[in-house]
Chains A and B, each alone.
Chain A
Amino acid sequence: NAGVTQTPKFQVLKTGQSMTLQCAQDMNHEYMSWYRQDPGMGLRLIHYSVGAGITDQGEVPNGYNVSRSTTEDFPLRLLSAAPSQTSVYFCASSYQDRGRGGYTFGSGTRLTVV
Protein backbone atom coordinates (compact mmCIF):
# COMPACT_ATOMS: atom_id res chain seq x y z
CA ASN A 1 0.00 0.00 0.00
CA ALA A 2 1.92 3.03 -1.30
CA GLY A 3 -0.42 5.75 0.06
CA VAL A 4 -0.03 9.08 -1.77
CA THR A 5 2.75 9.25 -4.34
CA GLN A 6 4.03 12.53 -5.73
CA THR A 7 6.41 12.99 -8.64
CA PRO A 8 8.83 14.55 -9.23
CA LYS A 9 10.43 15.24 -5.84
CA PHE A 10 12.44 18.17 -7.15
CA GLN A 11 12.02 20.41 -10.19
CA VAL A 12 13.62 23.58 -11.52
CA LEU A 13 11.69 25.57 -14.12
CA LYS A 14 12.40 28.69 -16.09
CA THR A 15 9.89 31.51 -15.94
CA GLY A 16 7.13 30.92 -18.46
CA GLN A 17 7.58 27.17 -18.70
CA SER A 18 4.70 24.82 -17.96
CA MET A 19 4.72 21.52 -16.16
CA THR A 20 2.52 18.99 -14.41
CA LEU A 21 2.99 17.76 -10.87
CA GLN A 22 1.72 14.24 -10.52
CA CYS A 23 -0.22 12.83 -7.58
CA ALA A 24 -1.58 9.31 -7.26
CA GLN A 25 -3.21 7.47 -4.36
CA ASP A 26 -4.10 3.81 -4.02
CA MET A 27 -6.48 4.03 -1.05
CA ASN A 28 -9.66 4.66 -3.06
CA HIS A 29 -10.02 8.05 -1.41
CA GLU A 30 -12.67 10.27 -2.92
CA TYR A 31 -11.21 13.54 -1.69
CA MET A 32 -7.91 14.90 -2.98
CA SER A 33 -6.26 18.28 -2.54
CA TRP A 34 -3.20 20.27 -3.50
CA TYR A 35 -1.44 22.56 -1.04
CA ARG A 36 1.57 24.79 -1.27
CA GLN A 37 3.83 25.38 1.70
CA ASP A 38 5.75 28.61 2.13
CA PRO A 39 7.83 29.64 5.18
CA GLY A 40 5.74 31.20 7.93
CA MET A 41 2.48 30.67 6.06
CA GLY A 42 1.62 27.08 6.83
CA LEU A 43 -0.09 25.18 4.03
CA ARG A 44 -2.50 26.90 1.69
CA LEU A 45 -5.08 25.10 -0.38
CA ILE A 46 -4.72 25.48 -4.15
CA HIS A 47 -7.40 23.17 -5.59
CA TYR A 48 -9.37 20.21 -4.38
CA SER A 49 -11.57 17.44 -5.70
CA VAL A 50 -14.48 15.63 -4.08
CA GLY A 51 -14.51 12.84 -6.65
CA ALA A 52 -13.70 11.94 -10.24
CA GLY A 53 -14.84 14.68 -12.58
CA ILE A 54 -15.40 17.22 -9.79
CA THR A 55 -12.88 19.91 -8.85
CA ASP A 56 -13.02 23.29 -7.16
CA GLN A 57 -10.76 26.18 -6.24
CA GLY A 58 -9.11 26.64 -2.90
CA GLU A 59 -7.48 29.67 -1.34
CA VAL A 60 -4.72 30.32 -3.91
CA PRO A 61 -5.80 28.87 -7.30
CA ASN A 62 -4.38 31.48 -9.69
CA GLY A 63 -1.78 30.09 -12.09
CA TYR A 64 -2.75 26.48 -11.47
CA ASN A 65 -5.08 24.06 -13.18
CA VAL A 66 -6.36 20.63 -12.14
CA SER A 67 -8.46 17.80 -13.48
CA ARG A 68 -9.68 14.52 -11.98
CA SER A 69 -10.41 11.91 -14.62
CA THR A 70 -9.92 8.95 -12.26
CA THR A 71 -10.27 8.36 -8.53
CA GLU A 72 -6.56 7.61 -8.25
CA ASP A 73 -4.94 10.59 -9.99
CA PHE A 74 -5.07 14.33 -9.37
CA PRO A 75 -2.42 16.19 -11.40
CA LEU A 76 -1.61 19.86 -10.84
CA ARG A 77 -0.63 21.94 -13.87
CA LEU A 78 1.38 25.11 -13.80
CA LEU A 79 0.34 26.99 -16.90
CA SER A 80 3.17 29.56 -17.10
CA ALA A 81 5.58 29.30 -14.20
CA ALA A 82 6.46 32.42 -12.22
CA PRO A 83 9.06 32.92 -9.46
CA SER A 84 6.17 33.42 -6.99
CA GLN A 85 5.30 29.78 -7.54
CA THR A 86 8.58 28.65 -6.01
CA SER A 87 7.33 26.51 -3.14
CA VAL A 88 6.91 23.01 -1.79
CA TYR A 89 3.75 21.35 -3.08
CA PHE A 90 1.86 18.65 -1.22
CA CYS A 91 -0.92 16.43 -2.41
CA ALA A 92 -3.31 14.98 0.17
CA SER A 93 -6.27 12.60 0.14
CA SER A 94 -8.97 11.42 2.49
CA TYR A 95 -12.01 9.19 2.71
CA GLN A 96 -15.52 10.34 1.91
CA ASP A 97 -15.95 11.69 5.43
CA ARG A 98 -14.53 14.88 3.92
CA GLY A 99 -11.35 14.86 5.88
CA ARG A 100 -12.75 14.33 9.35
CA GLY A 101 -10.65 11.19 9.69
CA GLY A 102 -7.54 13.09 8.71
CA TYR A 103 -5.75 13.52 5.42
CA THR A 104 -2.88 11.40 4.10
CA PHE A 105 -0.10 13.49 2.60
CA GLY A 106 2.45 12.77 -0.07
CA SER A 107 6.12 13.52 0.51
CA GLY A 108 6.04 16.72 -1.53
CA THR A 109 7.49 18.29 -4.67
CA ARG A 110 10.05 21.05 -4.19
CA LEU A 111 9.70 23.47 -7.11
CA THR A 112 12.05 26.32 -7.94
CA VAL A 113 11.20 28.81 -10.68
CA VAL A 114 14.12 30.90 -11.92
Chain B
Amino acid sequence: AQSVTQLGSHVSVSEGALVLLRCNYSSSVPPYLFWYVQYPNQGLQLLLKYTSAATLVKGINGFEAEFKKSETSFHLTKPSAHMSDAAEYFCAVIRISGSARQLTFGSGTQLTVLP
Protein backbone atom coordinates (compact mmCIF):
# COMPACT_ATOMS: atom_id res chain seq x y z
CA ALA B 1 0.00 0.00 0.00
CA GLN B 2 1.12 3.53 -0.68
CA SER B 3 2.58 5.39 2.30
CA VAL B 4 5.08 8.09 3.19
CA THR B 5 7.69 8.42 5.90
CA GLN B 6 9.03 11.76 7.05
CA LEU B 7 12.52 11.66 8.54
CA GLY B 8 12.93 14.03 11.45
CA SER B 9 9.98 15.27 13.47
CA HIS B 10 11.80 18.55 14.22
CA VAL B 11 14.21 20.51 12.02
CA SER B 12 15.90 23.78 12.96
CA VAL B 13 17.69 26.07 10.52
CA SER B 14 19.06 29.57 10.72
CA GLU B 15 17.43 32.34 8.76
CA GLY B 16 18.97 32.40 5.28
CA ALA B 17 20.12 28.77 5.44
CA LEU B 18 19.00 25.91 3.24
CA VAL B 19 15.82 24.12 4.24
CA LEU B 20 15.72 20.36 3.60
CA LEU B 21 12.75 18.29 4.78
CA ARG B 22 12.88 14.61 3.98
CA CYS B 23 10.12 12.36 2.70
CA ASN B 24 10.34 8.81 1.42
CA TYR B 25 7.44 7.04 -0.19
CA SER B 26 6.40 3.46 -0.63
CA SER B 27 4.39 2.73 -3.72
CA SER B 28 4.12 -0.07 -6.24
CA VAL B 29 2.67 2.27 -8.84
CA PRO B 30 3.64 5.80 -9.93
CA PRO B 31 2.61 7.87 -6.91
CA TYR B 32 0.84 11.18 -6.60
CA LEU B 33 2.84 13.04 -3.94
CA PHE B 34 2.17 16.26 -2.10
CA TRP B 35 3.68 18.63 0.42
CA TYR B 36 1.37 20.58 2.70
CA VAL B 37 2.18 23.30 5.21
CA GLN B 38 0.29 24.04 8.42
CA TYR B 39 0.81 27.32 10.22
CA PRO B 40 -0.16 27.48 13.91
CA ASN B 41 -3.89 27.10 14.53
CA GLN B 42 -4.65 26.92 10.83
CA GLY B 43 -5.65 24.30 8.31
CA LEU B 44 -3.35 22.68 5.76
CA GLN B 45 -2.27 24.55 2.66
CA LEU B 46 -0.99 22.84 -0.47
CA LEU B 47 2.66 23.73 -1.17
CA LEU B 48 3.25 21.61 -4.24
CA LYS B 49 2.30 18.34 -5.91
CA TYR B 50 3.98 15.72 -8.07
CA THR B 51 1.84 14.11 -10.74
CA SER B 52 4.56 12.65 -13.01
CA ALA B 53 4.71 15.58 -15.42
CA ALA B 54 8.17 16.70 -14.19
CA THR B 55 10.55 15.39 -11.55
CA LEU B 56 11.39 18.84 -10.19
CA VAL B 57 8.29 20.51 -8.86
CA LYS B 58 8.12 24.14 -7.89
CA GLY B 59 5.62 25.29 -5.32
CA ILE B 60 4.57 28.39 -3.49
CA ASN B 61 6.76 30.54 -1.21
CA GLY B 62 9.99 29.47 -2.96
CA PHE B 63 9.74 25.78 -2.07
CA GLU B 64 10.48 22.97 -4.47
CA ALA B 65 10.72 19.20 -4.34
CA GLU B 66 12.45 16.63 -6.51
CA PHE B 67 10.97 13.24 -7.23
CA LYS B 68 13.70 10.57 -7.26
CA LYS B 69 12.38 7.18 -8.20
CA SER B 70 15.70 5.43 -7.57
CA GLU B 71 15.70 6.70 -3.99
CA THR B 72 11.89 6.63 -3.51
CA SER B 73 12.23 10.15 -2.19
CA PHE B 74 10.39 13.44 -2.51
CA HIS B 75 12.38 15.84 -0.34
CA LEU B 76 11.28 19.43 0.11
CA THR B 77 13.85 22.22 -0.20
CA LYS B 78 14.12 25.98 -0.06
CA PRO B 79 17.44 27.75 -0.74
CA SER B 80 17.07 30.41 1.95
CA ALA B 81 14.86 30.09 5.02
CA HIS B 82 12.72 32.96 6.17
CA MET B 83 11.24 33.45 9.61
CA SER B 84 7.77 33.14 8.08
CA ASP B 85 8.59 29.55 6.99
CA ALA B 86 8.30 28.32 10.57
CA ALA B 87 5.43 25.82 10.47
CA GLU B 88 4.68 22.13 10.33
CA TYR B 89 5.15 20.39 7.00
CA PHE B 90 3.41 17.23 5.88
CA CYS B 91 4.28 14.91 3.04
CA ALA B 92 1.32 13.00 1.62
CA VAL B 93 0.53 10.38 -1.01
CA ILE B 94 -2.63 9.22 -2.71
CA ARG B 95 -3.24 5.72 -1.41
CA ILE B 96 -5.11 3.41 -3.74
CA SER B 97 -7.51 0.94 -2.12
CA GLY B 98 -9.65 -0.80 -4.67
CA SER B 99 -11.47 1.94 -6.54
CA ALA B 100 -10.95 4.44 -3.74
CA ARG B 101 -8.25 7.11 -3.65
CA GLN B 102 -7.32 8.37 -0.19
CA LEU B 103 -4.85 11.05 0.80
CA THR B 104 -2.45 9.56 3.37
CA PHE B 105 -0.10 11.74 5.42
CA GLY B 106 3.27 11.37 7.03
CA SER B 107 3.65 12.25 10.70
CA GLY B 108 4.88 15.76 9.98
CA THR B 109 8.08 17.80 10.44
CA GLN B 110 8.08 20.91 12.59
CA LEU B 111 10.39 23.53 11.06
CA THR B 112 11.93 26.13 13.36
CA VAL B 113 13.77 29.11 11.85
CA LEU B 114 16.33 30.70 14.13
CA PRO B 115 17.21 34.40 13.82
Query: Hey, which bits of chain A sit against chain B, CB under 8 A?
Result: 4, 31, 33, 35, 40-45, 48, 50, 56, 58, 90, 92, 98-108
Binds A, one of B66-74, B77-85, B97-105: B97-105
Q: CA A32 – CA B104 in complex, angstroms?
A: 14
Q: CA A43 – CA B103 in complex, angstroms?
A: 9
Q: CA A98 – CA B43 in complex, angstroms?
A: 20
Q: CA A58 – CA B103 in complex, angstroms?
A: 10
Q: CA A44 – CA B94 in complex, angstroms?
A: 13
* Chain A: CB-nearest residue to B9: A40
**Category for how many chain B residues contact A:** 20 to 34
The answer, yes or no, to whether B42 is at the interface (CB within 8 Å) is yes
Tally of A-B Cβ pairs under 8 angstroms: 61
The answer, yes or no, to whether B22 is at the interface (CB within 8 Å) is no
Taking a contact as CB atoms under 8 Å apart, the answer to whether A40 and B107 are in contact is yes
Shortest CB-to-CB span from B11 to chain A, Å, is 15
Q: CA A44 – CA B41 in complex, angstroms?
A: 18
Query: B32, B41, B101, B103: which contacts A92 (Cβ < 8 A)?
Result: B103
Taking a contact as CB atoms under 8 Å apart, the answer to whether B32 and A43 are in contact is no
Q: CA A81 – CA B28 in complex, angstroms?
A: 38
Shortest CB-to-CB span from A5 to chain B, Å, is 11
The answer, yes or no, to whether B45 is at the interface (CB within 8 Å) is yes
* Chain B: CB-nearest residue to A43: B105
- What per-residue 1/0 map shows which CB atoms of B83-115 lie under 8 Å from chain A? 000000010001000001111111110000000
The answer, yes or no, to whether B25 is at the interface (CB within 8 Å) is no
Query: B9, B42, B46, B100: which contacts A102 (Cβ < 8 A)?
Result: B46
Shortest CB-to-CB span from A49 to chain B, Å, is 11
The answer, yes or no, to whether B55 is at the interface (CB within 8 Å) is no
Q: CA A100 – CA B101 in complex, angstroms?
A: 9
The answer, yes or no, to whether B51 is at the interface (CB within 8 Å) is yes
Query: A4, A56, A100: which contacts B94 (Cβ < 8 A)?
Result: A100
Shortest CB-to-CB span from B43 to chain A, Å, is 4
Taking a contact as CB atoms under 8 Å apart, the answer to whether B103 and A99 are in contact is yes
The answer, yes or no, to whether B17 is at the interface (CB within 8 Å) is no
**Using Cβ atoms and an 8 Å threshold, which residues of chain B touch A107?**
42-43
Taking a contact as CB atoms under 8 Å apart, the answer to whether B45 and A98 are in contact is no
